[in-house]
Structure 1
Amino acid sequence: MARIISPDTASAEASAGAPSASSDGEGAAPRKPARVLVLVNPHSRRGADCMHDVAAALEAHGIAVVLETFSAAREVSDDIRRLAPGMDAVIVCGGDGTINAALPGILETGLPLGVAPCGTANDFARTLGLPPDPVAAMSAIVGGRTHRIDLGVVNGRPFLNVASIGLSVDLAKALCKRRKRIWGRLAYALAALGVAFRARPFTATILSAEGEARAKTYQVAVGNGRFYGGGMVVEETATIDDGTLDLYSLEMKNVWRLVLMLRCFAKGAHGAWADVRTQRGVDFEVRTRKPRHVNADGEIVATTPARFSILPEAISVFVP
């Protein structure tokens, strides 16, 4: 059930029919939204703890807030569609997985997206340059500046950061919600260690504008944004508005070579290694002998064969 938090009755009534929060046109002045829908994942690491502070921060600047919690990710886009009339923006209070679940609703309604980073990794918020504190991140909403960004698509499902096959899928399965809530980003390192011990390469066929390549790999990843995996960089020149996707394939003989590559992954320079295949493009397809899961923004969303494409300037987001 939605709960309306309003600075006062008059401002709430006035905002109900307010125009779009801001424009992305060249030279358009930033415009603070008058009425926003704040969607909260109470199971995210900090979602339940920070939602009232986030609402209060917006209310303090005269923004009327409709606060909505949900119990399952599949409900998020339905909530956006149901509550969109009269709203100027949608703010997601959660992590990358929650924001990913909201994308279909954002695409359908065209409302600008704001982020209160309350998850574990918060890579999308990092890509946007938002402060890690959810309340401090509301300064972007109050400032009213928006920017259009690209979305990646895998088998019809949109994603923000990276979609991948291989190690990251095993990692996603190993990262239970309880472990992330207790250990935070350390949970990624602990789970990754266990995944590495059990890792085995698989054979993948990669199709692109450059032709067809067959590879024995531990992971094939396709990035849309800049950051993923708790701060790793997709590719050193990648941005979330460059109109392209960045693919890499880990084709080393021993998975433990990744330890030597960690500093390069932190900078996005892993393509300099001979056993890492990299490509840039707008359309890729990855085929495997047996169906393998695809992880997008930390959630299992599809299976191979996986077709990757890009939606340039697909949605509008609030930025500092």
Structure 2
Amino acid sequence: MPSSQTVRALLIVNPKSRQGAEAALEDGLERLRQAGFTVEKLVSQGPEESRQAVLDRCSELDLVIMGGGDGTISSMAQVLYDCKMALAVLPLGTANDLARSLAVPETLEEAFAVIAANHRRRIDLGIVNGHYFFNVANLGLGVTVSEELTDQVKKQWGVFSYLKAFFAALARIRQFKIKLTVDGEHKRLRSIHMAVGNGHYYGGGNVLRDCNEIDDGLLSLYSLRPQKVWELLTLAPLLREGQYDLDKRVFTAQGRDIHIETRPSGMAIHADGEPVTRTPAHFEVLPGALEVVAPRPVPDPSNPEGFTP
């Protein structure tokens, strides 16, 4: 988009996420106006209001700026895709994993600076049973963690809330059987947790898989084999860094089309921290589905011209 052209933007803010951020938001809005943006601000009371606001303005906007956490932003994925609308992220949530995957800075001042620069890139979207997501969809232990991650826990524990929810969930571990198909190849597994991810980060900064990126056209899957709690805790460093291939207790795969059946059937699936569907589940990826505002990539000193070997 030419720099001389006004950028018409809608800023949608989750009121639960904006406490204490009002001054920074107003300063950021003024910065955008000085950069040539016209910005309408909406304090939304829920996903339906947010989606309808974008649908009503599809032809009038160049950009939607979402201020909230991963669940708030993920709830907008399909309407943004349907409207072919660009997205910018203000990290106002607990985890902000999409912002991490896009390398958007944590502070609102720096995040607004990224938006003002208006550099665009394209990213993939994941879909599970028709529900769109940015980061990860999971079942088993991950769902139990999400259930333990209440608003009260987030308020009391802040950045440590995911750790608190994880330890609470350990007491509720149950194993299950999986019939898995990845791009036509079949596998049968026993598991206590399975995740299928599109983005690089999930669960408050955990790496989904160290080789996975949000624009590589692939979904990455990992499954934890049944094990004792103390054994699971020894996996924690590898889980944090996404280095699952280093341990035989973890099954990994990558593909574009994934089908999962479980026993018991009808297991809950959460995507980006929100309940969306149940097994059996069909996953697919939409490569380059969405345009987003993100920092310009930092040149690699060993490859300053950006040549691909």
TM-score greater than 0.5 by the shorter chain: yes
Change (3 A) 1:209 1:111: closer
Deviations 1:148-186 (A, max 9, x none): 110010001111111111111111111112321332221
Partner of 1:110: 84
Match of 2:71 among 94, 97, 100: 97
Measure how far apart 1:55 and its partner are. 2.2
- The alignment-based identity, stated in percent, is 36
The alignment covers a number of residue pairs equal to 293
Change (3 A) 1:206 1:46: farther
Partner of 1:305: 280
Measure how far apart 1:83 and its partner are. 2.5
* Correspondence list, 1:131-170, <5 A: 131-170=105-144
Which amino acid in structure 1 is aligned with residue 208 of structure 2?
V
Residue segments in structure 1 that go unaligned for 5+ positions in a row: 1-21, 23-28
Match of 1:44 among 14, 17, 33: 17
Match of 1:68 among 24, 35, 42: 42
8 Å Cα contact 2:129-2:281 kept in structure 1: yes
Which amino acid in structure 2 is aligned with residue 73 of structure 1?
P
Change (3 A) 1:156 1:282: same
* Correspondence list, 1:227-306, <5 A: 227-289=201-263, 290-306=265-281
For residue 285 of structure 2, give the secondary structure of its aligned residue in structure 1.
strand
Change (3 A) 1:210 1:105: closer
* Correspondence list, 1:216-235, <5 A: 216-235=190-209
Q: For 1:31 and 1:308, locate their aligned partners in 2 and report how far apart those are by CA, in whole Å.
A: 41
Partner of 2:146: 172
Deviations 1:215-262 (A, max 9, x none): 111111101110111111111111111011101010132243232122
Q: For 1:205 and 1:30, locate their aligned partners in 2 and report how far apart those are by CA, in whole Å.
A: 51
Change (3 A) 1:31 1:109: farther
Which amino acid in structure 2 is aligned with residue 305 of structure 1?
P
Measure how far apart 1:199 and its partner are. 1.1
8 Å Cα contact 2:51-2:76 kept in structure 1: yes
Partner of 2:8: 35
Cα RMSD (Å) of the superposition? Answer: 1.8
8 Å Cα contact 1:123-1:230 kept in structure 2: yes
8 Å Cα contact 1:248-1:277 kept in structure 2: yes
Q: For 2:41 and 2:279, locate their aligned partners in 1 and report how far apart those are by CA, in whole Å.
A: 37
Change (3 A) 1:111 1:259: same
8 Å Cα contact 1:252-1:276 kept in structure 2: no
Residue segments in structure 2 that go unaligned for 5+ positions in a row: 296-309
Change (3 A) 1:33 1:108: farther
Which amino acid in structure 2 is aligned with residue 41 of structure 1?
N
8 Å Cα contact 2:6-2:36 kept in structure 1: no
Match of 2:168 among 194, 197, 210: 194
Measure how far apart 1:264 and its partner are. 1.3
TM-score (norm 2): 0.89
